[in-house]
Copies of this chain bind each other. A is one copy, B any other.
Amino acid sequence: MFESANLDHRIDKPTYRREEAKLREALLNAQFDLKENGRFPVLILIAGVEGAGKGETVNLLNEWMDPRHIYTHAFFEPSDEERDRPPQWRFWRSLPPKGKIGVFFGAWHTMPIIQRVRGEIGEAEFAHAIGEIVRLEKMLCDEGVLLLKYWFHLSKPQQKKRLRALEKDPDTRWRVTEREWEYFKVYKKFVRVCEPFLRKTSTGEAPWIVVPGADARYRSLSFGRHLLAAMRERLDEKPVARLPDKNPPLLAASDKLNVLRAMPLDQPLTKSEYQTQLLKWQRRLNVASRDPRFKSLSVVCVFEGNDAAGKGGAIRRVTGALDARSYFNVPVAAPTEEERAQPYLWRFWRHIPRHGRFTFFDRSWYGRVLVERVEGFCKEADWMRAYSEINDFEGELLRQGGVVLKFWLAIGKDEQYKRFKAREKVAFKRFKITAEDWRNRKKWDDYELAVCDMVDRTSTALAPWTLVEANNKYHARIKVLKTLTVAVEDGLARVGKNASGKKAKKKGAK
């Protein structure tokens, strides 16, 4: 990766002055067009070796362009807010919206590289991390992000020279600490890790661009010109006639049977039995939520289901057991303007709870493979790739003590009709039934198919779908409450185990 960058590239001052002036104007124009065009965001990753001019370049960029539309984020040690959430969360909260430029100073690549250089992870784990990065970046590109990854490079002699020069000058001496020389000592090891890393995370859509860092003028011009070319290319693209992305169809059932139709929707549970059970499970859930180990758990709970299946009622029976400070309800409607300017998972990432908290999603990211699929709000290619993107997303949530629950509340078509009619009659329930509900009902079969595909493709060992027979609301509520409580209790047990496992390990180490 570094063959070209190891050469002694240089630009003389007059050339630089002349070219910089032109570049600056063109970059400002591109930035303006990006804002006007508003069709995609630019995400710039800044990475590379110590002393190769990463900071200078970011400063320069903010000087060249309108800094009001550049969002720069440097990722150092995670904050407590960040430590309490999946590792990806800090990046998601910092993504630039469409029309803007985001600069990530250090990003998802930093940890795996450092851990590998330090020998904290082996080859296989490193390969695994690389796979995850490739998937994340593919998703961002598929969502329209213009992802530009710059690696600022110095050869070993160049790095030595640079550090010496900084040390000599009283004005810059402070920039060279022992840490910099420590890094210099492991230069070879660092490059041995980074070189294959860069190659394996370079894809056609998101290649690493290695910028020679030794000569400041050369570096600045190279970076600026590349950024300009990349933005211009995307801004100026025009539609052409070409074959659509075709995804093979999924399997449609050849008979009338499917997972929803196989459900015995009518379940007996009397009101008095319900009340007894409700008290019992609410108490157990409350006890679990006040367990000291709960401080290491985050609970994400998804409610999906037919219209009028009783999602809201079920959620209220759950939250009724909880301290209001420990949970947050997210009713998912049409995305806001801010949300539409981001990849579709962004509006869910922003509500991911920290440890010791619950989030209840009334409808969720599954909208992508349900309503957006059925109504044609997104392309086939988009909802087809969403299954694995959602699995990756939930995989992230499950790290570090996450508990993920997904409920599908199912009612029969007749039961739905009865409830719709009832809602229309009762004044205080009128707001709950709209023309859209009736329209959706006409697409019953399409939704049924979409739900079955969703269950098949996103039910995982650690985050399975719970199908809830909901013709009887009492039964549905108790099943939800019970499933959730048991999952939280299991989560607590895992925390306990991990904690005692760690203790045992430490003991062993002594």
Contacts and interface: CB of A to CB of B under 8 A. Distances in A.
A258 B4 contact: yes
Interface in A217-266: 218, 221-222, 225-226, 229-230, 233-234, 237-255, 257-259, 262
Interface stretch (A119-127, A164-172, A274-282, A498-506): A119-127
A192 interface: yes
Interface size class of A (residues with CB under 8 A): 35 or more
B262 A249 contact: no
B262 A7 contact: yes
Given A128-B128, A131-B131, A204-B381, A199 B460 contact: yes
Interface-centre pick from A146, A203, A247, A248 (highest chain B CB count, 10 A): A248
29 contacts: A1-B456, A1-B457, A1-B459, A3-B465, A4-B251, A4-B253, A4-B258, A4-B452, A4-B456, A7-B258, A7-B262, A10-B255, A11-B255, A122-B124, A127-B127, A127-B128, A128-B128, A147-B248, A206-B248, A207-B248, A222-B254, A225-B254, A230-B248, A237-B243, A237-B246, A239-B241, A239-B243, A240-B243, A241-B241
Given A7-B262, A204-B384, A244-B240, A221 B127 contact: no
A297 B39 CA distance: 53
A248 B233 contact: yes
Given A241-B241, A251-B211, A257 B7 contact: yes
Given A4-B456, A209-B251, A9 B239 contact: no
Contacts of A384: 204-205, 207
A280 B262 CA distance: 79
A416 interface: no
Contact of A242 (B131, B209, B239): B239
A156 to B, nearest CB: 16
A391 interface: yes
A388 B455 contact: no
A457 to B, nearest CB: 7
A251 B226 contact: yes
B131 A254 contact: no
Contact of A255 (B9, B127, B243, B457): B9
Contacts of A244: 237, 240, 242
A299 interface: no
A81 interface: no
A253 B204 CA distance: 20
A424 interface: no
A382 B128 CA distance: 26
Contacts of A254: 9, 11, 218, 221-222, 225
Given A124-B122, A124-B128, A192-B461, A249 B226 contact: yes
A190 interface: no
A195 B57 CA distance: 47
